[in-house]
Each structure stands twice: as C-alpha cells, then as structure tokens.
Chains A and B, each alone.
Chain A
Amino acid sequence: MATVIVVTSGKGGVGKTTTSASFATGLAQRGYRTVVIDFDVGLRNLDLIMGCERRVVYDFVNVINNEANLNQSLIRDKRVENLYILPASQTRDKDALTKEGVERILTELKQGFDYIVCDSPAGIERGALMALYFADEALVVTNPEVSSVRDSDRILGILASRSRRAEQGENPVKEHLVLARYAPERADRGDMLSVDDVLEILGIPLLGVIPESSTVLQSSNAGVPVILEDSSEAGAAYNDLVDRFLGKALPHRFTSIQKKGFLKRLFGGG
C-alpha cells in the first residue's frame, strides 16, 4: 500500500520544494517507486528544481479535468530510476484542485507507487489544504525563526484537525520535523532559534536538520536535486534524512559549529 507524504510549512520560501525534490529522489535511489506531485498550482517550480521543465506536456490539473490521463502527464526522471514527477500548471488558478479530483488521482497513483510525495504551496489556503488532506505522513519544514515556527505550529494544528485521517477518526497523520537553512554559528550567537528551541515549541520528532548552504541555490539553478550532490553538507543531510525516514537510527549532523580543518580552509566547501 502506497504512503502519501505531504511536505508542508505554512510559511513560504522555507525549503518545501527543495525538500520534496531531494526526499523523493532519495526514496527512488533506494529502490522505492516514487512520484512527487507539485500542488503549487500557478507557481510551479518543482519541475525547475528537478530539471525537467522542458519536458512538461500535461499537468496535474489536466488530469483532474480529464483532459489527459496520468501516463501522459507523469514525467520520468532521467537520472534516477523509479522516480516520476507530476508537474503543476502554470496557468490555472488553485480552485482547479477539487477534493474528488485529487482523491481520484491519488487512488490511481497508489496502484503503481510506494511513495507519493506532495509538495505543498505556502499558506493555509485551498492548495495547501488539498496537499495535506490525504496525507499519511507529513514533513513539516521549518526555518529557525519565530514566524516560521509559528506557521508550522499552525499547520500541525490543521493536520491534526482537518486532514482526512482526523476527519475519519483514523490514526493521526505521522509528523516529522525538517529544520532547514540551519546555521549553527548564528543559532549560537542567538540570531536564530536553536534546534532545541524549535523542538521545544513544536514538540514533534526531528527527522533532519539541513544546513544553510550555497550549494542548494546552485544545484536548483542547475536543475539537480541537492541530494545528488553528495559531497555537499546539504546533500549529505538530505541523505541522512531519507535513511532516517526509512528507519535507520543516525545521529544528527550539522547542528553544532564545525571547526574547519586545514584542507577545508584551503579548498573551501560548504
């Protein structure tokens, strides 16, 4: 039975799409048939980060409106086997997402996939609600700042009260915290919240800490999910995150200030 995972945050620009792309890629790399869906109708950019924007023919809304079938709109990733992307439409508005339509597509996808990753738009409007409604698990992406944590708290409340699982009285959506854009030296100076601060406020299990890293912007400009840059800290952090999701007990890295070694100082890196 396929698992539906929403990547959500409330606040915009915190790293949902970056996380969706790397998480889905990581699951597929480990042999799971995975599809990642862009729910950000009108502002699509998952296909850019996945590097497949020039291969988009049909999109999510086309399938909902029965203008195309799933096979026509799923894009097969060229680098990683088992990985498919269902892009969002650039031109439609968010009302195109109906509960019935989304449910029909998810039900069909569940036949052929192990994991369905839903990249949620920001906010708590229709698009975000549709992305989380059918979720079994949630990656709640937060930046170490008060407003982002507050919005994540809000989303956790919505997951607990307005998801399908909540409405049907089933087991609650399983919550995972992803703390993105973390800079230990700034947390140490008190410029941003620390890992412990965030955990104390949100009180959900920490799946991964993704360090602030310039590699993220570079790789998304190049259309490569950063998890494929395994020599970078952000890539390594996403690899750990996927392993932890699949049950490996790994210690958290990149949460404290690293003294730069001689070679690192010589060649840089980050």
Chain B
Amino acid sequence: MLLRSPHLASEETPPFELKGSLFTLTVLHLFQMDRAAIERHLVEKVKQAPSFFNNTPVVIDLEEMTDSPEGLDFNGLYELLRTHGMVPVGMRNGTPIQQAAARLAGLPALPESRANGGAKKPDKTEPASHSRIVNHPVRSGQQIYAPEGDLIVLGAVSAGAEVIADGNIHIYGVLRGRALAGVRGDAETRIFCQSLEAELVSIAGHYRISEQFDSADRGKAAQIHLMENRLVIEHLTR
C-alpha cells in the first residue's frame, strides 16, 4: 500500500502537523479527596444527566481543595472518573508535588486558571445591547417601540399592531401588522420575519405597503433591507 502512494512518504507531506486550537472542556473542581464521597456524588450526577457522562473529557482543578494532602492518589482518581464516564485529560493548579504526582498518572499540568491574579472581572455587568425582547404576540392596537436598539418579538405581530425600533426588528412569527426599523435614520437596519404578510414595512423611512408587495413574497420567511435607498425583500432559505 505504502508503495503505491509515494506521496505519503515524501518530504513535503509529513504524516502529521501540529496546530494550536481552543477547546471548551469541563472542569472538575475538586474540594476534598474523599473517595467514597466523590463516588456517591458522581453516581447522583450521572443519574441526573446520563448522556453527559459519555466519555466526557475533563480537567481536574485543585484550586479549591480544602485539605491539601501532598500525596494525592491520581491513579485512583483517574480510575474512578473513568468508571463513571469521564476521561481526565489533565489537571491544573495544585502544588508542584501534586503536579508531579499527576504527571506520573499521565495527567499533564495545564496553565493556571486566570482567576489566579489574572484580569479581574468588572463588578457590574453592563447590558451588551439595548435590545428589547417581547415574549408574547403583539396584538391589534398595540404599539411596541425599542429605542436605541433591536426589537425581538417571540410571536406574531397582528394586523393593526405596530412594532418600531431604532435598530433591527426580528419577528419569530407571522408579521401581519406594521414594522418600522431604523426609525431614527439608520439605513443599515433590517427587518426579519418568519412569514411576511405585513400591512407596511419601513427601513429608515423608506416604506412599502401591502399592496405593493410581490405576491411571490407573501407568506415567505423574509428579510427586508435597503440597497441604494431601495427596499429589498429577500427570502430566507434554510
């Protein structure tokens, strides 16, 4: 076989390549090395979410250990986790002696978590945006405005209802009423809906009424945006 594929053996194409990559891994924060207690807790966790414990890679973190025995039995811990569906792939934090013990059990030490003297989290979290989420249908006669941001409607917008935003408008339902995006002039804003049956749509003051819709657009999942000052209706396809 190898002979018949000379490329494999050639210098330009080595059998592998190393590249950096980021993974999201589950971290098991160990508080104490009480084998029986760990096992009891594991059994309970597995019962709650059996599908989660299916050869799930985990990193063991020793930062929050309350008792710090130097001679942690990493081999035992490794076996214990394996029998309950987890595959330890490394450890982090812990004393140099603990790290050495882990290495002997085949668990490399990973860089310490950033919480250790790293960048501190800001005390208060600012909202990432000024989106307004409406999780009910917007009925005839109702008007909803999202100033300075997007409007997201989880439901239909009825005929005779009006949804307005300075930003984009997303409607996870049928749009039968009026939708006006970018009402303060932002021409980059868009309207998205799951079914277009609107009375009127408008982006930054450029509007179109129901009568002017192409019948091919009616009832379609659509996005509406401006292109060279003209309203464009595009079907959303999956």
A104 and B161 CA atoms in complex are apart in Å by 34
Interface of A, helix, strand, loop or mixed by DSSP: helix
The chain A residue sitting closest to B137, CB to CB, is A203
A158 and B158 CA atoms in complex are apart in Å by 13
Tell me if B26 is interfacial: C-beta within 8 Å of chain A. no
B: interface residue count bin: 10 to 19
From the candidates A151, A157, A203, name the one contacting B142 in the complex (CB within 8 A): A157
Tell me if A160 is interfacial: C-beta within 8 Å of chain B. yes
A: interface residue count bin: 10 to 19
For chains A and B in complex, what number of residue pairs have CB atoms within 8 angstroms? 35
From the candidates B136, B142, B155, B158, name the one contacting A201 in the complex (CB within 8 A): B158
Q: Contacts A150-B140, A203-B137 hold; do A157 and B161 have CB atoms under 8 A apart?
A: yes
Please tell me if the beta carbons of B137 and A158 are within 8 angstroms of each other in the complex.
no
A157 and B139 CA atoms in complex are apart in Å by 5
A158 and B161 CA atoms in complex are apart in Å by 12
Question: For A124, what are the chain B residues with a Cβ–Cβ distance below 8 Å?
Answer: 141
Residues of A143-200 at the interface with B, using a CB-CB cut-off of 8 Å, are 150-151, 153-154, 156-158, 160-161
Tell me if B156 is interfacial: C-beta within 8 Å of chain A. yes
One digit per residue, 1 when the CB lies within 8 angstroms of any chain A CB and 0 when it does not, for chain B 138-162 equals: 1111100000000000011011110
Q: Nearest Cβ distance between residue A217 and chain B, in whole angstroms? A: 30
A203 and B161 CA atoms in complex are apart in Å by 15
Question: For A151, what are the chain B residues with a Cβ–Cβ distance below 8 Å?
Answer: 140
Q: Nearest Cβ distance between residue B124 and chain A, in whole angstroms? A: 25
Please tell me if the beta carbons of B141 and A160 are within 8 angstroms of each other in the complex.
no
Q: List 12 A-B contacts (CB under 8 A).
A: A124-B141, A150-B140, A150-B158, A150-B160, A153-B141, A156-B139, A157-B138, A158-B141, A161-B142, A201-B159, A203-B155, A203-B156
Sorted from nearest, which 6 A-B pairs have the closest CB atoms? Answer: A157-B139, A153-B140, A154-B140, A154-B141, A157-B142, A153-B158
User: Which A positions have Cβ atoms within 8 angstroms of B?
Assistant: 124, 150-151, 153-154, 156-158, 160-161, 201, 203
